[in-house]
Structure 1
Amino acid sequence: MSPYKTTGKYIQDQISIADRLKLIVGLRHEHYSSETIDGQNRFHATQNALLPRFGLTYGINKQINYFASYSQGFVPVGANFIQNYKDYGADKPFEAERSFQIETGLKTGFLKISCKWIFPCFRSSVEICLLQQEQSMTRDCRSIDNLEKHCHEEWSWMFAGS
Structure 2
Amino acid sequence: MKPEEIDAYLAKIKKIDLGGADGGPAPAWDDGALKTVAPLFIKHKIGDAAANEIIAAYAKHVSGQYRAAHEADRAVLKSLRDECGKRFGADIKRFAAEGRRGGEHVFGKDLFQRLARVEAFGSDPDIIEALAKIGRGLTRDGAAGGDKGGAAERSLADRMYGGK
After TM superposition, the score normalised by the length of structure 1 is: 0.28
Whose strand proportion is higher, 1 or 2? 1
**Higher relative contact order, structure no. (Cα contacts within 8 Å, ≥ 6 residues apart):** 2
Larger Rg over CA atoms = 2
Whose helix proportion is higher, 1 or 2? 2
After TM superposition, the score normalised by the length of structure 2 is: 0.28
